[in-house]
Structure 1
Amino acid sequence: MKVQRGKPVKPPIANQEPDRAQGSRLSAILNAAERAFGEHGYAGASMRTIAEGAGVAQALVHYHYATKDKLYEAVFERRSAAINQYRGRLLDALFAGKRTATVEDVLTIAFTPLSEIFHDEDADNLALYVQLVASVSLGSDERSRHIRETYYDPIAERFIDALHTVVPGIAREQAVWAYLFSAGARQQAHAINGRAMRLGAKDRTKASTAHYSDLVRFAAAGVRELARAGQQTGKPPSKSGGRAAKSSTSRAKTPLNGAT
């Protein structure tokens, strides 16, 4: 009598874990990677030190992320997904409301403190993430360009659209520069290098957001001045190439993407 054999049963893989445990391990790996990349840069961080920081075997890090490049990108993907969805919802609500939106409204959303998005998370890790974003936002290498275009340019375009809508007379090109100048000011406000204190500013905790109101006022004044100066040149404000913020808020949000 011929015995019909079933499909061979694969032995369990050591790093196949219950969903909750696996999610916890992935968070630990990404947190450790964020710290390592933030403190030592891409070149200075290693998969071995990241595994040690996460308290897992290096083989598990390679199992989930394969290469350092993939792990580096995953750090940005995780944070940008939450940040851009949060800020996107605020933009939707702003332009769906009856009150006329202002440049201060748009900048307040753009400058939303990460502590409001990631409640009860380590302030040091969030500060290191901001440092990583500053690095890729200015980087000219292919890795930085890919991360910037994939995870940050989509939400940047939404804020540019919003500025183009709420600032009377501003040209699309001016709105682009207004956003980039404002993003640069935000990065200085987030910096954890202690430079402001060395130059004479009062010390503040990493979790402090008291300076954000000053940041909004500073950037809003600069945006309005760009528009005023542009009008004085006699060039008519160009609406071509811009997408109205009201219509942009109805666009589908970029999946797992977005600010920088």
Structure 2
Amino acid sequence: MMDNVAKSRSTAQDADLVENAWLDELTPPSTTRERLLDAAEELVARFGFDAPSVRDIAAAANVRLAAISETFGGLDNLTSAIVERRSPTLAKARLEQLADAQADGPASLEAVVAAFIKPLFARMEVSEKWRHFAQVSAQLGSSAQWDKRLGHFLEIEAPAFLAAMRNAEPDLSQEQAAWCFAFLMGAVASATSATGWVSQLSDGMVEENDLEGMQSELLVYVPAAIRAVAQAVDQVRIGTPLPNPPASTKTRDRILDVAERLFAAHGFYGVSMRKIASAAGISVGLFHYHFKTKEGVFLAMCLRRHPALNEQRWEILEIAREMPQSRERLATVIHAHLCTPASHTKRGGRGWSNYFRAMTTAIPSHGVYWLSTLRVIADDIMHAIVAETVSAVPNLSRRRAYLAYLFANGLVAFCYSGSARIERLSQGALKANDYPSMCEQVLRFHVGGVIGIAAVR
């Protein structure tokens, strides 16, 4: 009887939030403040926090250039207001659903995860503005600089969910719960960013705008992943790091080093050719001589490091192919994908750290150029990782393997962005640069999640 009451209450809440989301979507912004927030939110969602200029936002909002300083006091305050506007509303809805789930005692792990995921997806289903907010959240989670400044707004509900996860899964330690909550946030961010990368990679097998289907898979993947962390059964081997490219005084290499650092801090769309040239101490003309375009320097940056990373991944996949179909084989495949970068980031020097941060800031970005770059540097190895994932797990379809890859992208973005999220969630007990611990937990999480979705017919 109580289950039916709780279900009815949840259904009523869903109906209310859908109605309110429709009102939010259909009511045109009535003030300059709302128009600016909507315009800035959409631009940040697509291109990251550092890309939109005052002029870009004012033009998109169809307001005077001075309106931003008059309304918000400047671009920085407007950027903060984007995150502050919706995050309390979402946190409140999540906490209310969690409270309902716990009304008669500790909630199941499935109910805890649903309380986190469903309120966001319900709003996204009926409101393009909430889709933009979800994409803004993904941008925030992949940028260490912006996460440090605004990340706490996305963690208002974290203490209640960390406690609920441990009540549902008593074997989960405080530190493991913090890792799991961070991974949950990463997987949801990737599932809602809708960049088109995995749709392209899977030749349309995965439709990233299928929110209902994405939610259904996450509701299975995440509880199974958390239980795997609590059980602590999978081990990980961190490989030997590859060296940085040799130090060079050549102008071309100096430009690449500087570009790597700037892309790591500001993302692809937040960096200009002029910025790179100035930081490298050269003229824009000399930059053009070496690389022609910003796209050219970004691709050269990728081609300088990614082949060495992929070579190590291929070697690990060869080991996996010799193993019988088993959980250990899956763990080896996932190690190739998620954990190979850890050895370079931890022991391969600042250059590798900057490179992975530059790549993670690009993961939630939208744009034809970024997708075409991924095709050049990652298509073959990622298709191989998906194929080997299918080979390792009985009954796992290729579609679900691509979905698992999509969720894993969010884990990668969290793990290698340099975000301080894990330090906040663990109240300082864990460190963002503790790569052995991070790698151990992320491998267990993703192995468990993949096996979980494979078990669903």
Structure 1 length-normalised TM: 0.69
| Alpha-carbon distance, 1:179 to partner | 1.9
| Alpha-carbon distance, 1:134 to partner | 2.9
| Alpha-carbon distance, 1:54 to partner | 3.3
Residue in structure 1 matched with residue 294 of structure 2 by the alignment: 68
Q: Is the 8 A contact 2:356 2:416 kept in 1?
A: yes
**Larger displacement relative to structure 2 (20-29 or 34-43):** 20-29
Residue in structure 1 matched with residue 48 of structure 2 by the alignment: none
Report SS of the residue matched to 2:437. coil
Check if 1:133 corresponds to 2:359. Answer: yes
**Cα separation, partners in 2 of 1:26 and 1:203, compared to 1, 3 Å:** farther
Check if 1:46 corresponds to 2:269. Answer: no
**Larger displacement relative to structure 2 (38-47 or 48-57):** 48-57
Gaps of 5+ in 1: 1-19, 231-260
Q: Quick check: which one's helix share is greater?
A: 2
Quick one: distance in 2 between partners of 1:111 and 1:177? Answer: 15
Residue in structure 2 matched with residue 94 of structure 1 by the alignment: 320
Pick one of 206, 213, 224 that aligns with 2:433.
206
Residue in structure 2 matched with residue 14 of structure 1 by the alignment: none
| Alpha-carbon distance, 1:39 to partner | 1.4
Aligned length: 210
Quick one: distance in 2 between partners of 1:169 and 1:28? Answer: 49
Superimposed CA distance per residue, residues 47-76 of structure 1 (whole angstroms, 9 cap, x where no aligned partner): 333234334454432211011121122222
Residue in structure 2 matched with residue 77 of structure 1 by the alignment: 303
Superimposed CA distance per residue, residues 158-192 of structure 1 (whole angstroms, 9 cap, x where no aligned partner): 10000000001111111111222123223212231
Q: Is the 8 A contact 1:88 1:155 kept in 2?
A: yes
Quick one: distance in 1 between partners of 2:440 and 2:348? Answer: 23
Report SS of the residue matched to 2:435. coil
Residue in structure 1 matched with residue 24 of structure 2 by the alignment: none
| Alpha-carbon distance, 1:93 to partner | 3.3
> Structure 2 counterpart of 1:102, which letter?
R
Pick one of 131, 134, 149 that aligns with 2:375.
149
> Structure 2 counterpart of 1:33, which letter?
A
> Structure 1 counterpart of 2:433, which letter?
K
**Cα separation, partners in 2 of 1:92 and 1:64, compared to 1, 3 Å:** same
Q: Is the 8 A contact 1:130 1:190 kept in 2?
A: yes
Report SS of the residue matched to 1:140. coil
Q: Is the 8 A contact 2:404 2:450 kept in 1?
A: yes
Residue in structure 2 matched with residue 219 of structure 1 by the alignment: 446
Residue in structure 2 matched with residue 107 of structure 1 by the alignment: 334
Pick one of 28, 37, 46 that aligns with 2:263.
37
Superimposed CA distance per residue, residues 23-66 of structure 1 (whole angstroms, 9 cap, x where no aligned partner): 84333211110111221233432333323433445443221101
Quick one: distance in 1 between partners of 2:372 and 2:307? Answer: 16
> Structure 1 counterpart of 2:287, which letter?
V
**Larger displacement relative to structure 2 (214-223 or 132-141):** 132-141
Check if 1:179 corresponds to 2:179. Answer: no
> Structure 1 counterpart of 2:268, which letter?
Y
> Structure 1 counterpart of 2:312, which letter?
Y
Quick one: distance in 2 between partners of 1:188 and 1:218? Answer: 13
**Larger displacement relative to structure 2 (64-73 or 96-105):** 96-105
**Cα separation, partners in 2 of 1:178 and 1:208, compared to 1, 3 Å:** closer
**Cα separation, partners in 2 of 1:21 and 1:190, compared to 1, 3 Å:** closer
Check if 1:122 corresponds to 2:346. Answer: no
| Alpha-carbon distance, 1:87 to partner | 0.6
Check if 1:193 corresponds to 2:427. Answer: no
Superimposed CA distance per residue, residues 226-249 of structure 1 (whole angstroms, 9 cap, x where no aligned partner): 11113xxxxxxxxxxxxxxxxxxx
Gaps of 5+ in 2: 1-245
Quick one: distance in 1 between partners of 2:252 and 2:382? Answer: 28
**Cα separation, partners in 2 of 1:169 and 1:162, compared to 1, 3 Å:** same
Report SS of the residue matched to 1:215. helix
**Cα separation, partners in 2 of 1:111 and 1:89, compared to 1, 3 Å:** same
Pick one of 146, 161, 174 that aligns with 2:387.
161
> Structure 2 counterpart of 1:32, which letter?
V
The percentage of counterpart residues that share the same residue type is: 24
Quick one: distance in 1 between partners of 2:266 and 2:287? Answer: 18
Q: Is the 8 A contact 1:164 1:172 kept in 2?
A: yes
**Cα separation, partners in 2 of 1:21 and 1:186, compared to 1, 3 Å:** closer
